[in-house]
Structure 1
Amino acid sequence: MKFLLDSLLLLPLLLICWLEALVKLFIPKKRKSVTGEIVLVTGAGHGIGKLTAYEFAKLKCKLVLWDINKHGIEETAAECRKLGAQAHAFVVDCSNREEVYSSAKKVKADVGDVSILVNNAGVVYTSDLFATQDPQIQKTFEVNILAHFWTTKAFLPVMMKNNHGHIVTVASAAGHITVPFLLAYCSSKFAAVGFHRALTDELAALGRPGIKTTCLCPNFINTGFIRNPSTSLGPSLEPEEVVSKLMKGILTEQKMIFVPSSIHFLMMLERILPERFLAILKQKINIKFDAVIGYKVKE
């Protein structure tokens, strides 16, 4: 009862906060300068990671690029140098904790202290639970979430000391809304969203307001990882569109980025609509893609 009464007393403050949020919608937020910052991007050899590196290069940042693919990472680094930025390429398997830690030490010694960390590396297997092999499930979690712990533990201490930095988590709409035949992927991305939210609260509790956090949650992206995706929500997103939204979110210190923004609306609906109606709504959304089905009905 006491909690209920205390909550009612907060209603005037809630109205003020709503009004403040409404006003901010019409006031463009100033973008911060990141010139000279040391930016580390994991999974920078292709897709979103590659394009994100290019955008930071245009902003005259010093790039540290990690990827397991040597050819891809060297190609990204070369393009960043053409754009006028310093770029350092490292072949790193982000699923290997000790390799992450040893590579982080080399980055600190050879390049300097990372102040913007973009945890982008990810893997996806499109199959049902029975067709997803045990090593694939393990790899999904090692890359999509455990690697975030290792990289953040490696580079956050200096950010904490300076009360300055930015941790970016590339998650997915599948970290909020589940999709059949992406069981391991959805589970890992739910964990990534939870990592972002918990880290944000922990930094606040530790009195480090200068360290910002951003989480990207896009719908299907046309990068070739998922074959023949389709949904009534619209066509697959182009990587350039997603990276444009990501960069805007980072530079304006936005905590959660949904691409398209309708994902946020669907997420709120899922929390308030009856279960039966949600099932019908999901049928209307009609998410499809090529997947391996291992479950067989016994005759």
Structure 2
Amino acid sequence: MKFLLDGLLLLSLLILFSLESLVKLFIPKKRKSVTGEIVLITGAGHGIGRLTAYEFAKLKCKLVLWDINKHGIEETAAECRKLGAKAHTFVVDCSNREDIYSSAKKVKKEIGDVSILVNNAGVVYTSDLFATQDPQIEKTFEVNVLAHFWTTKAFLPAMMENNHGHIVTVASAAGHTVVPFLLAYCSSKFAAVGFHRALTEELAAFKRTGVKTTCLCPNFINTGFIKNPSTSLGPTLEPEQVVSRLMNGILTEQKMIFVPSSVAVLTVLERILPERFLVVLKRKINVRFDAVIGYKTKEQ
């Protein structure tokens, strides 16, 4: 009897919360103010990181820009200053834990406690398993996943103490669905999505509801890292449209952002549709890009 009552209660809550979510789709979400916040962005010397820095600069945040490319972050910082924001640059190798920790210590000492952390730095190698060199696999995980642990361990304590802050994980649609010849990248992005989800639950367990989390999962972006990408899900995304969605998601405290939204539908379908149908569906989606193939089939 208890099982039946619990089932009825859960069903009623499912209907209620589903209706609530449907109604909220038609109500514009209030955007929070981030003026004066200290925002740290990794991989800020180009692409998504650079454009995200510009948007935070327009909102009068104090910016801390990390990148391994000194010239790139100096260019980003110069533009942010033109937009009226204070910008501090640090040359940091996000594949190196000790470099991250020592740089974080300098940031806290010289600038203050970071309240918005954007883990954006990433690397990708478009090749099959055999053509991907061991150091490339290691670096993929060091930058795309492990760096998130080190930066978060460095800056989250102050956020938890103040019960105020935001951790942003820039992942990928490849963190939910896979394609050939991106084995290391997909694996690392699955881990990044898992990091975001587990961190979200851990913060809830600590009752630190003032520390928010957001995860960005876009399809192919026109940043030059992947050559000649194409898919029937839609055209290659421009960085500006991705950053627009990201900023809106941060300011309205969305937990998961899919760009385009059809990626979210695909992730659900993969869990419920028959495997043979999924094979046909993926052929129709037809994800393609230039890749290095190291595996050679034996001649018959």
TM tier relative to shorter chain: over 0.9
Cα distance in 1 between the residues matched to 2:291 and 2:10: 49
* 1:40 aligned residue: 40
Cα distance in 2 between the residues matched to 1:3 and 1:143: 46
* 1:148 aligned residue: 148
1:175 and 2:175 are equivalent in the alignment: yes
> Match for 1:292: what amino acid?
V
Cα distance in 1 between the residues matched to 2:239 and 2:54: 12
What percent of counterpart residues are identical?
86
> Match for 1:91: what amino acid?
V
* 1:99 aligned residue: 99
Instruction: Give TM-score scaled by structure 1 length.
Output: 0.98
Describe the shift of the 1:76–1:11 C-alpha distance in structure 2 as closer, same or farther (beyond 3 A).
same
Q: CA deviation at 1:177?
A: 0.4
Describe the shift of the 1:5–1:113 C-alpha distance in structure 2 as closer, same or farther (beyond 3 A).
same
Cα distance in 1 between the residues matched to 2:247 and 2:278: 33
* 1:210 aligned residue: 210
Cα deviations across residues 66-117 of structure 1 (Å, max 9, x unaligned)?
Answer: 0000100111011100100000000000111011000000001111100000
> Match for 1:225: what amino acid?
F
Q: CA deviation at 1:235?
A: 1.1
Q: CA deviation at 1:9?
A: 2.7
Unpaired runs of 5+ in structure 2? Answer: none
Q: CA deviation at 1:8?
A: 3.4
Describe the shift of the 1:2–1:136 C-alpha distance in structure 2 as closer, same or farther (beyond 3 A).
farther
Cα distance in 2 between the residues matched to 1:3 and 1:264: 32
Cα distance in 2 between the residues matched to 1:253 and 1:105: 28
> Match for 1:241: what amino acid?
Q
Q: CA deviation at 1:234?
A: 1.5
Cα distance in 1 between the residues matched to 2:53 and 2:188: 24
Q: Give the total of aligned pairs.
A: 299
Cα distance in 2 between the residues matched to 1:252 and 1:216: 13
> Match for 1:256: what amino acid?
M
Cα deviations across residues 175-229 of structure 1 (Å, max 9, x unaligned)?
Answer: 0000110000000000000000000000000010000000000000000000000
> Match for 2:16: what amino acid?
I
* 1:77 aligned residue: 77
RMSD between aligned residues: 1.0
Question: Alignment partner of 1:128: what SS?
Answer: coil
* 1:242 aligned residue: 242
Q: CA deviation at 1:3?
A: 5.4
Matches for 1:1-299 after TM superposition, within 5 Å: 6-299=6-299
Q: CA deviation at 1:13?
A: 1.2
Question: Alignment partner of 1:180: what SS?
Answer: coil
Cα distance in 1 between the residues matched to 2:274 and 2:75: 50
Q: CA deviation at 1:7?
A: 3.0
Cα deviations across residues 117-136 of structure 1 (Å, max 9, x unaligned)?
Answer: 00000000000000000000
Question: Alignment partner of 2:167: what SS?
Answer: strand
Cα distance in 2 between the residues matched to 1:8 and 1:42: 47
Cα distance in 1 between the residues matched to 2:245 and 2:29: 14
Runs ≥4 in structure 1, deviation > 2 angstroms? Answer: 1-9
Q: CA deviation at 1:58?
A: 0.3
Cα distance in 2 between the residues matched to 1:234 and 1:11: 36
Cα distance in 2 between the residues matched to 1:120 and 1:5: 46
Cα distance in 2 between the residues matched to 1:153 and 1:221: 29
Instruction: Give TM-score scaled by structure 2 length.
Output: 0.98
> Match for 1:235: what amino acid?
P
Q: CA deviation at 1:6?
A: 2.4
